[in-house]
Copies of this chain bind each other. A is one copy, B any other.
Amino acid sequence: MFDSVAFIGLGAMGYRMAAHLPAHIANVMVWNRTFEKAQQHAIEYGTQAVSLQDAVQADVIISCLPTSEDVQKLLDQIQPKAGSIWIDCTSGEPDQAKPIAARLAAHQVQYLDAPVSGQTIGAQNATLTFMVGGDHTTFLQAQPLLQHMGQLIQYVGESGAGFAVKAINNMLLAVNLCAVAEGFTTLKAHGVSLPDALKCINASSGKSMVTETVLPQRILNREFPLTFALPLLAKDTGIAMKLVHQAKLAAPVLAQTQMMIQAAHLTAQPDSDFSAAVKMYEQWSKITLE
């Protein structure tokens, strides 16, 4: 096991993920751009709030930032320790994984792309799914550490593969979000009770994570709690489409979904939860999904 782990990026996910580490690791350092958050984490969970330069001297660095561009900017400022492992939980760009890995390899640092799924509740309960790309031996070294924060720690292929699986997963979430909004609006327009329809669909072949949790827990109750921001879902669908374009494939339903999520994001309130994408459809139809 590792003596020291540094966690970089204490957002809604990272803050909760890092909280599990002190129970297993002697020296858990945390760093965040808004440094008060790191200090608060230290008080709350017994981690150490340190400078960025100190953080990158850890045996393992875990980063959890909004975009791959943010990771690249971070790398401009630091000198990581040779022999360490960098685990990047950002929902990043697959075609950035190899360039980032190469930059770190120049410092003798191994890089894993290891984005997560499971939202803040999964981060809190250590039930996240980690989709990991990179060197397989490094993965085996990192796996026990990730197990402290997640349930399924899955190796999916070479550098960038983790980011790719995450992007497609979130695209499938987006597809269901749009399709459910469109389908349930149609049912309500025809006088069908949405809770009754939902019971049927959740016992049938049309069910998905969106019908099982997003629709009842976020939309029908009109709560739209901000745990995964709509602009981030828009970003992820964009990453998925980039994968489609790079492979020169035809993916019409994904392309269509990306456009709808993009339109929903462009017309949404700032700080909207991803589930609020349905509000675009509600504005179109004057039908409220409740």
Which of A154, A186, A247, A267 counts the most B-chain CB atoms under 10 A from its CB? A186
In the complex with contacts A157-B193, A200-B117, A251-B182, A169-B205 CB distance below 8 A:
yes
Chain B positions within 8 Å of A241 at CB level: 245
Query: 7 tightest A-B contacts by CB?
Result: A172-B206, A117-B204, A208-B208, A189-B247, A182-B251, A169-B206, A250-B263
> Contact between A250 and B257 (Cβ–Cβ < 8 Å)?
no
Q: How far is the CB of A62 from chain B (nearest CB, A)?
A: 18
Q: Does A94 contact B (CB under 8 A)?
A: yes
Q: Does A102 contact B (CB under 8 A)?
A: no
Chain B positions within 8 Å of A171 at CB level: 179, 183, 206
| Stretch from A6-14, A78-86, A160-168 contacting the other chain | A160-168
When C-beta atoms are compared, the residue in chain B nearest to A213 turns out to be B205
Q: Does A131 contact B (CB under 8 A)?
A: yes
A231-288: which have CB < 8 Å to B?
234, 238, 240-260, 262-263, 266-267, 281, 283-286
Q: Can you name 14 extra interface pairs (CB under 8 A) apart from A183-B240, A189-B249?
A: A117-B200, A118-B204, A151-B203, A168-B201, A168-B206, A175-B175, A176-B176, A205-B209, A242-B245, A249-B285, A253-B256, A253-B257, A255-B259, A266-B285
> Contact between A172 and B253 (Cβ–Cβ < 8 Å)?
no
> Contact between A196 and B154 (Cβ–Cβ < 8 Å)?
yes
Cα(A241)–Cα(B242), bound, Å: 10
Cα(A160)–Cα(B186), bound, Å: 13
In the complex with contacts A186-B243, A201-B172, A157-B192 CB distance below 8 A:
yes
Chain B positions within 8 Å of A243 at CB level: 186-187, 189-190
When C-beta atoms are compared, the residue in chain B nearest to A158 turns out to be B191
> Contact between B284 and A249 (Cβ–Cβ < 8 Å)?
yes
- For chain A, the bracket of interface size reads 35 or more
Count of chain copies? 4
Cα(A256)–Cα(B252), bound, Å: 6
> Contact between B252 and A204 (Cβ–Cβ < 8 Å)?
no
> Contact between A267 and B283 (Cβ–Cβ < 8 Å)?
yes
Q: Does A43 contact B (CB under 8 A)?
A: no
In the complex with contacts A172-B208, A179-B175, A259-B255, A250-B203 CB distance below 8 A:
no
> Contact between A196 and B256 (Cβ–Cβ < 8 Å)?
no
Q: Does A197 contact B (CB under 8 A)?
A: yes
> Contact between B263 and A284 (Cβ–Cβ < 8 Å)?
yes
Which of A117, A165, A256, A267 counts the most B-chain CB atoms under 10 A from its CB? A165
Which of A117, A155, A169, A204 counts the most B-chain CB atoms under 10 A from its CB? A204
- Pick from B94, B151, B196, B267: contact of A155, CB below 8 A: B196
> Contact between B165 and A201 (Cβ–Cβ < 8 Å)?
yes
